[in-house]
Structures are given as C-alpha cells and as structure tokens.
Structure 1
Amino acid sequence: MTAHPVLVVEDEFLIALDIMSALEQAGIAVAGPASTVRDALAAIESQPLRGVLLDAHLAGEPAGRIADALQARGIPFAFVSGYGRESLPPEHRGAPLVRKPFTDRDLLAAIAGF
C-alpha cells in the first residue's frame, strides 16, 4: 500500500520544486504542485492526501478557501510564507507556519505531524 502524498500548493515554480525535492529526498510521496486556488481545490477533492504545504498567497489570491476546504475534510496543513502570521487568513492563524526562506529540516518538521 502506498502512503498518501503531501500536496504542494505553491505558485512560484522554483520554490515548489525545492519543496518537492526536499520531501522526495526524505522518501515522502508528493503531489502537485498546484499553483492556483482552483487547482488546489481540485487536487484536494480528487485524491486522498497525507497533508498539504500551502503557500499563503497564490498569485495574489489568499489561500483561505483552500485552508477552509482542508479543515472541513480533516486534512492537516501548514502554511509556507515569507510573511508573518498577520498575513494568514484570520481564522487559520493558529496553523503551523514555515517561514520563507526555509530549510529542508523546517519542511520536514512541519509535516511530521501529518
């Protein structure tokens, strides 16, 4: 049986590749990247997921709808952002946050609870 993947939701392609590479090198199954709110919502609905690493802003669009959908489905997630908690959707400011720039260790620590 294959472990469910971690979905990477990130609109900056090179950052998405860095995240995916770090996870894959640690032996973690990866899905994505999803680079828009629409693509992320479709990915969440179409497959079982271990969890999601979620950029707080996708092409300027806040990720609150994605976080809401994840919470409603009981899928764990962590935000990945270059900004502080004040930039996160107010109802999700308590979610784990990985600050950009990040290390592989930061990413792995964030998904340890997934």
Structure 2
Amino acid sequence: MKSFFQWQADVLVLNVLGCPGARQDAIGKVKGNQLKISVTALPRAGRATDHMVRFLATQFGVARSDIEVVFGRMNVNKQLRIKAPTTLPDCIQRVPVTPPGVANRA
C-alpha cells in the first residue's frame, strides 16, 4: 500500500501507528504510510488496541465489531479493516479517492 489507506469495495483498510499512554485520544497526522492514532490506554496485553478500536468506532461511525485488527494487536504498527465507515476524518476526506463501484461525480 503506497498510502496509509485504501478502499476494498466498502471496506477501508488503514495502516496505523499506535501511540499508547497519550494524554488524550486523538487521530494525528500521517507519518509515511501510517496514520498516527494516540490513545490514553497503556500498552498492556492488547488493552491499548482494544481502546483504539472503541475510539475509532465512534470516529468512523461504525460498531466495534465492524473494525477488524488484521495485524499488530500487540504492536504499535497495525492494520485495520473498517467495514462501511459512515464518517471519515479530515485526513482521509482530503485525499480524492473514490471507492470501487461508486461513480465519481467530480
């Protein structure tokens, strides 16, 4: 993946650089081919990843069960699959990418 995200039909595949133990939960800036996501949870037995999934579910307007951790549950480098997000953060909206099967009206 050249970008930090790509569409696979209605699924958003997202490469993440997790930053546990932060002061607040936040979606940060793009770093290379990863999106920095800070969470307040500490990195203990996957709890920070679980917290990240809960946080991102609200940010993307999906249920927690619609987010799959493909790899990196116990690592800061992760890949997530988000099924049919209803809301997109600004950093994704600014990139002109149309999901396959959707007509481009530009």
Task: Settle same-fold status: TM greater than 0.5.
Answer: no
Q: Which structure has the bigger radius of gyration? A: 2
**Normalising to structure 2: TM-score of the pair?**
0.28
**Normalising to structure 1: TM-score of the pair?**
0.27
The structure, 1 or 2, with the larger RCO (C-alpha pairs under 8 Å, 6+ apart) is: 2
Q: Which has the higher helix share?
A: 1
Q: Which has the higher strand share?
A: 2
